[in-house]
Chains A and B, each alone.
Chain A
Amino acid sequence: MTKLKINNRIYDLALKGHETLLEVLRDILGLTGTKTACDEAECGACTVLINGKAILSCITLAMDVENDDITTIEGISSGDDLHPIQQAFLDKGAVQCGFCAPGFILSTKALLDENPRPDLDEIKKSLDGHLCRCGGYLKIFDAIEDAAKKLRNE
């Protein structure tokens, strides 16, 4: 059995070895907040956090992250309370079709956990692995600045 720790819960899974983390999350565990889009490491929709760092689950073997801390979009809110980054995305209208939002939000979490006061260039650089096909980047940047302020209690 392979033990995966996802959103602070341990899952014992009978994996064969060739499953990607994306496939395990979506097709085996039903955690469909993580999206499949390009499936070739270009778009960022499948981003999850491994030990707090943003990685692409479409090119990660699930067995390679056994014993690591895996965080998906389902794991960052507390019950019905959205995470401040999720709330900021809603407040600032940074979610259009919403397909890319989970990935953007998780990369933002990784950024703000490491650097609570990023400037615009640092925000852009940290999101360089994400594509938003609705083109809503400006509102996304606004939302991140807003979330950073809220997380700093300003």
Chain B
Amino acid sequence: MLLNPFTYHAPSSVKQAAKLYATLADVKILAGGTIVLNTLKKLKQNGAKTPENIISLKKIKALQTICTQKSIITIGSMATCRDIIHSKELKKDCPLLIAVAQNIATTQIRNMATIGGNITGRFTWTEFQTPLVALDAKLHFVTKTGKEKIINAESFFKQNAKTSDILEKITFKAPQDVCFVYKRIPKRAEPDIPIFSICLRASVKKGTFQNVCVAINNAKSFARKDTKIEKTIAKLKTNDKAGTNLLKTLDLSRYAKDGDYKQAVISSTLKNTLNELIAQTK
């Protein structure tokens, strides 16, 4: 399908992009395009209005960087799933994100889709949400006046991922002495989008779980920490029965109605996630 005409802008720096964003009316940011281009087609199909200006971030090379400096990992918003999968820094310092990226969509989409688009795309189910919450990541935006604005990933998703700024990069401390497990339940056989995803972070000391974080995305709302599950896990002993014991006291009715198959899927995923984390620490 031919797209409705728009004016294409390709700034070469974030500053330039922010300036354009501030001055142009009726404007949309374009990253990898896997959501934007499909949306433009759907809007046209439905006879709806499409933006007059597109600001493509593709030519801003600085936004593609992935690096670790003084134990702080920085991922540029234009890093693609593929960049993440092949990053030597992440392989060494944060393999969790590689595991997440590997499961997203299809090869071609992974080659195109950026982490920035995944975070700001405002689909409740997109998959970098839970790991970034579990990593206590910070999102660095550039405002229309060119100033930096830093928001904690958890707060950003609590505010329903709304922004009128440009996401420049994501930073977080390289995890040390903690384990992470990420699990996703796709709608159908893979590849498909998840109906539920979870990222569990914890360390194991003296037979107990410490530093526990449970970030959950039930696809109906954006990712959140579940403090009730975190507290329950923190009280468990780290033995082979931990997963089963977790389920004994847990009320999951906030995610799916009692008796709903989704609740069964969620509880078995929780159990498996915890057991996998224990296995990692052995």
Residue of A nearest to B58 (CB): A64
A17 touching B111 in the complex, CB below 8 Å, given contacts A53-B82, A128-B191: no
Most central of B1, B82, B108, B190 by chain A CB within 10 Å: B108
Given contacts A16-B5, A55-B111, A61-B8, contact A44 B38 (CB under 8 A): no
- B107→A17 contact, CB < 8 A: no
Question: Taking the complex as formed, is B10 at the interface, i.e. its CB lies under 8 A from any CB of chain A?
Answer: yes
Is A101 an interface residue, CB under 8 A from the partner?
A: no
Interface string of B106-149 (1 = CB under 8 A from A): 11110110000000000000000000000000000000000000
Q: Does A63 contact B (CB under 8 A)?
A: yes
Known: A53-B82, A59-B34, A60-B33. A41 touches B109 (CB 8 A): yes
Question: How many residues of chain B get a CB closer than 8 Å to chain A's CBs?
Answer: 28
Looking at chain A's contact residues, is the secondary structure mostly helix, strand, loop, or mixed?
A: mixed
Q: How many residues of chain A are within 8 Å of chain B by beta carbon? A: 29
In the bound assembly, the distance between CA atoms of A110 and B30 in angstroms comes to 25
- What is the minimal beta-carbon distance from B212 to any residue of chain A, in angstroms? 32
A140 at the interface (CB under 8 A from B): no
Does chain B have a CB within 8 A of A107? Answer: yes
Taken together as a complex, chains A and B put the C-alpha atoms of A19 and B190 apart, in Å, by 31
In Å, the complex CA distance between A24 and B106 comes to: 24
The answer to whether B33 touches A54 (Cβ under 8 A) is: no
Contact B37 A61 (CB under 8 A): yes
Instruction: Tell me the B residues contacting A by CB distance below 8 Å.
Output: 1-8, 10, 30, 33-34, 37-38, 41, 54, 56, 58, 82, 105-109, 111-112, 190-191
Closest 4 CB pairs of A and B: A17-B8, A129-B106, A59-B37, A129-B108
Can you spell out 12 A-B residue pairs with CB atoms less than 8 angstroms apart? Answer: A17-B5, A18-B5, A39-B1, A41-B34, A44-B108, A60-B33, A60-B37, A64-B33, A110-B107, A125-B107, A127-B107, A128-B107
